[in-house]
Chains A and B, each alone.
Chain A
Amino acid sequence: MERFLAQNWTVIQPALFLVFTGLIVLLVDLWLKEEEREWLAYFSLVGFGGAGVIVVRQWLAVRGLETPITGFGGMMVLDTLGLLFQMLFFLVGFLAVLLAPGYLTRRRLQRGEFYALLLFSTAGMSLLAGAQDLIMLFLGIEVLSIPLYILAGFARPRLDSEEASLKYFLLGAFATGFLLYGTALLYGATGTTAFEALRASEAAAAPRENVMFMAGIALLLVGLGFKISMAPFHQWTPDVYEGAPTPVTAFMVAATKAGGMVALIRLLYWGLGPADDVWRPLLGVLAAVTMTWGNVGALLQRNVKRMLAYSSIAHAGYLLIGVLSGGVGFVAVLVYLLIYALTNLGAFGVILLLEDGEREALDIESYRGLARFHPGAALLMSVFLLSLAGFPPTAGFFGKFLLFTAGISAGLTWLVVVAVLNSVLSVFYYARVIVKMYMQEPVETPAFSRSWLVAGALAVAAVGVVLLGLYPTVVVRLITA
């Protein structure tokens, strides 16, 4: 009994809380009628909120400590980096739940599993944020991904949703194979899966002399690259983001990227730190390829969801600059992810306002003259798009500024130059939507459905984007304090 309780469960307390909430949602749903199920959304909000409170309290307690708290024989760690990432995940989860109920009710998809899976997926991210072992890393990624495969197909029997689910699942399983193979090879080369022991291993000290170790790193990068949609492993992204139900897409865009980034940071710096001369140049080149490919792809899209999918690939490229910079770079990655998440959730929130269960504002043409019908929605969409493009004084500008200065101080000037050129390129496709909304004549009355929940999420996102743009240093000071 004591031994079971002595495992330091506080380390996974937020994840436990989410899993419990998810279980309750899952089981209570079985005895609810269809029209009562909206209550599950409010209950899930409590789940995300409660997990958020736990994490903030843990953060306040852990902040001053010299050595971080570990649990489960060193498999999990409770440090500020992990806790800050978890705050981000729970915020995204909270906002994503706000976006969902209206959409689900209109399409008769209001089912408890939706919220349960969202909670489970976030629990996976929460585990990932503290992972200190390749096995926990793997399991965290699986708990994060498998609910998303299901959620992508939630609008079944709509064909594009089924297609998205199947594509995501098959390619995701393929990527999981890479991840597992890489884990096995690293274990073979070092005899351990713990990050601490990996860091201290002989193979990590001289990676170039150990073929197995090198192959292991390469395979792990492929697997994680898939999860953050890093080129050339991003091919699934547009199709999946387009086909999945819009609230799910919003969650995936904002949260999985953050989950993948924290996994990458943990693995590269905590596990493979000494071998950085191997992965650093590789990842640098891939970052440049990713942002360029994403932006060029986005230029060619007519569907707004696909455009945002390609834009998310480009943003993964920018984020890799922060990951490569280390130290200050992590702060930049965190702040950028926060801004990026708020902006994307906001943009998808607007898309969700412009649908009525039958028509969806997915084609870029459906934004023509939107400002005349719904000036508020058009204004919000413009703010979010400008922030994605990195225009001052929106938050997006400040996020890019942080990332790029971190990159320059880490000696990655060439990569920052590529990123700046890419940002310029990206303005074209973001601005195209704004031009359509304000300067072109409308073709038809746009679909619209009022929802207080979506409006609330939009308000949070918009206030966040504006405030972070106006008072950027506050959040940085809060994080680094």
Chain B
Amino acid sequence: MSAQFVIFGLLAVTSVATALAMIFSRNAVHGVLFMVGNFAAVALLYVLLGSPFLAAVQILVYAGAIMVLFLFVVMLMGPEPAPLWEHIPGQRPLALLFGLLLAAGLIAAVNVEELTGVPGIMSQEVLERLGQPTALAQTLFERYLLPFEVTSLLLLIGMIGAVVLAKREKHELQAERAPREGGAE
């Protein structure tokens, strides 16, 4: 048994365990914290697969930023939220059925030989010569120049969206304050 396999085993158990703990924890904040553990374990799995850049993204964006969003959502709801979901009849058996189907599909996907694909430009040889982050950077900034620039437009639109949908305009705030102040006098 190689060291790599032992590490993989540890990470696999950790990620599944934290995922289960997240689902079953009664306290939503604890759930989010378990999710952070899960993100970290998955990031280490990426390292094991030879993709340190993806691991860094996983930590920075998911464990860092997305987790903050989740925590805020939990806090927006308040400490002991009423159940957010209505009981949908037949949901549990259906969920079980679909879960099993997904598992079967994934097992089949790993085992069936027909699913072997064709290597793209990021071949093993390129990765070994340059290292994954450098190879990725070269492809991203030369071949995928246009998609990279369009991404910045997408980020800009995201900013606008956040402001338009979550920020109140001045006149809206005034309209809200006016009656309150009037009542106090």
Contact = CB atoms under 8 A, between A and B. Distances in A.
Establish whether A and B are touching in the complex (CB under 8 Å): yes
Interface of A: 7, 12, 19, 26, 34, 72-73, 75-76, 108, 111, 113, 116-117, 120, 123, 127, 135-136, 139-140, 142-143, 146-147, 149-150, 153-154, 156-157, 165, 187-192, 201-203, 209-212
Given A143-B154, A156-B165, A191 B160 contact: no
B157 A146 contact: yes
Nearest 6 CB-CB pairings of A with B: A191-B118, A188-B117, A191-B120, A150-B161, A72-B146, A139-B150
B160 A34 contact: no
B164 A135 contact: no
B146 A150 contact: no
Contacts of B147: 75, 135-136, 139
Contacts, number: 86
B146 A146 contact: no
A147 B164 CA distance: 11
B165 A7 contact: no
Contact of A191 (B117, B150, B157, B165): B117
A231 to B, nearest CB: 22
Contact of A73 (B117, B143, B153): B143
B153 A143 contact: yes
22 contacts: A12-B146, A113-B160, A117-B160, A120-B157, A135-B144, A135-B147, A136-B146, A136-B150, A139-B150, A140-B150, A143-B150, A147-B160, A150-B161, A153-B165, A156-B164, A187-B117, A188-B118, A191-B118, A191-B120, A201-B118, A203-B118, A212-B115
Given A211-B112, A212-B115, A113 B164 contact: yes
Interface residues of B, number: 28
A209 B21 CA distance: 41
Nearest to B158: A146
Interface in B117-145: 117-121, 143-145
Contacts of B112: 211
A210 to B, nearest CB: 7
B151 interface: yes
Given A135-B147, A136-B147, A116 B160 contact: yes
A64 B131 CA distance: 47
